Structure 1
């Protein structure tokens, strides 16, 4: 990726815990490292295709002077997110806000808070076996596409499959899609859980019926483990109803641990296990 750096942009604003900071104000210094693909601008020498760093400086100035935050952490996190939302050419924002006049009472240079925000490409499995299944899938994808900071890029065909596990229930409709998001894995998981809950009944039984089921399969090439989320999805290599639609849009995608492609995982599963896909 190409990089633009803005160093120590001076901004007088009203952020801080103490009343004198929010009333009187003080100087802040903002530095940003902005990454993206600037190839078209470089080759064409056309300002219309370039990232306007002057506009970005004015945006950061306007953002920080029109708001008051107690914590630098909040100001830094919110501003970095807004830069990605408002400047689509940016893929990654590394932001640092310095506070050289912090009320510490001892000699120092500055206090600063830094954060990194970027766009992520995420592959997701989607399924439903309650009610109008096709409509549930469509509504789920539409809801994700409407979320700030999220964009659905590609959607697979819909496949019918037998239920996974030994729970007596209707057949599923399954698909997969690729999305772009500025959310972290845990933030995206929280959003998906809310969408599943809002969709209606289901999720009361392990491997049971679902109005809407959303599973994160890949998140860039990250390996992520927490109590409630593992990425890549730990059981995807055993699920043809995941791999079949995923292979339609990402047969080339390589598992960051096993280094097998989605197509390889699917072919190995077909050779070793009965399939759940029936259409």
Structure 2
């Protein structure tokens, strides 16, 4: 991927745990790498397909001076969010924030933190079987779309489905969306769980009725096995309504574990469970 680099941008700002750091300020140094496709800009001289590094340097300075943060980790995180929000061209950001005047009584050149974030495409399954089901899905989609770190790319049709898991309850209304985000998988999960809570979901019975359910099905080709998140979602290949929606959105998307497309997985499921 093509890269734009800004190296050793000095900014005088007011970040640190100590009161004197926020009152007197100190020097910070930024090293930035942006990944984005420069082909169109190079071939056509279209400025809208490029990033003005002078303007970006001025913005970084303003953003760095806008708030007073305790941690340079927080500063770097906020700067990355600003870059992705203001520059949709960018696919990946690598940012190092150096603190050469860190209050450490030892001989050292600088202290720094380095954060990297990349845009990811993810598939999210939505389901509801309580109250006004269509309104529940609409409300969830709005909250997802209102998050500045998320862009909804595609939405599937809505399918009425029978309950899955053996608990007697109303039928579900289900849907799948494809989104793009620069959040980490863990941050995306936390965001979706917060939306569920905001909309009134209460977790009482496993596989039981739910006002809203937001499941991460895939994040690109990533494989994750943690106490909080398993990717791909372990039941994708067993749920025909999920596969039907995924086939509608991305029939040739490959499951990174089974190494088969959504269309192939759906055909196998329908063959084995006619």
Instruction: Give the TM interval when normalised to the shorter protein.
Output: over 0.9
Q: Structure 1 pair 200/20, CA: closer, same or farther in 2 (3 Å)?
A: closer
**1:113-170, Cα deviation, whole Å (9 max, x unpaired):** 1001222211011111112212211221122111121111100111111111211111
- Seen in structure 2, the aligned counterparts of structure 1 residues 235 and 98 have a Cα distance that, compared at 3 Å, is same
**Uncovered stretches (5+) of structure 2, i.e. residues with no partner:** none
Deviation at 1:60, TM superposition (A): 0.7
In the alignment of these two chains, the number of paired residues is 274
Retained in 2: the 8 A contact 1:84–1:118? no
Distance 1:172 1:202 in 2: 16
Separation (CA, whole Å) in 2 of partners of 1:135 and 1:20: 52
- Please show how residues 143-182 of structure 1 align to structure 2 within 5 Å: 143-182=143-182
Q: Contact between 1:96 and 1:115, CA under 8 Å: does it hold in 2?
A: yes
Partner Cα distance (2:241, 2:186) in 1: 24
Following superposition, the deviation at residue 202 of structure 1 comes to 5.2
* Rounded Cα–Cα distance in structure 1 between residues aligned with 2:63 and 2:223: 34
* Rounded Cα–Cα distance in structure 2 between residues aligned with 1:219 and 1:261: 15
- Structure 1 residues without counterparts, runs of 5 or longer: 275-279
Q: Secondary structure at the match of 1:90?
A: coil
Tell me the residue number matched to 1:265.
265
Contact 1:202-1:209 within 8 A present in 2 as well: no
- Please state how far the C-alpha of 1:218 moved relative to its aligned partner: 0.7
Root-mean-square deviation (CA, aligned residues, Å) is: 1.5
How does the TM-score come out when normalised to structure 1?
Answer: 0.93
Residues 11 and 198 of structure 1, relative CA distance in 2, 3 Å threshold: closer
- What is the CA distance between 1:20 and its match in structure 2? 2.8
CA pair 29-198 structure 1, distance change in 2 beyond 3 A: closer
Assess, with a 3 A threshold, how the Cα gap between structure 1 residues 198 and 68 changes in structure 2: closer, same or farther: closer
Q: Distance in 2 between matches of 1:101 and 1:76?
A: 17
TM-score norm. by structure 2 comes to 0.95
